[in-house]
Amino acid sequence: NDLHAITQSRQTISEIVQRRDPRLLVGCDPCSIHDVDVALDYAKRLKVLASELTDSLYIVMRVYFEKPRTTVGWKGLI
């Protein structure tokens, strides 16, 4: 269930920020999403890495669908 996964992730992040979880929080991201297939491939690979390092790191993927600081040129996927 997607809602459960989001809720669980937020709880874990809160625990890390409040130092009740000793792991290091790592946010990984592409600058912005411009190709959905590439983004899904990246997410799948990141999930494997996150599973391997879960004892010491909590890895999350940050995703933007547009480039908020870009004023000229490509604005992002949406």
Give tens-digit pLDDT for 16-27: 999 999 999 999
> CA-CA distance, 10 to 39, in Å (whole number)?
21
In this prediction, residue 22 carries a pLDDT of 98
Low-confidence ranges of the chain (pLDDT < 70): 65-78
pLDDT, position 51: 97
Q: How far apart (Å, rounded) are the C-alpha atoms in residues 35 and 63? A: 12
**Environment class of 26 (CB within 10 Å of its CB; exposed 0-12, middle 13-18, buried 19+):** middle
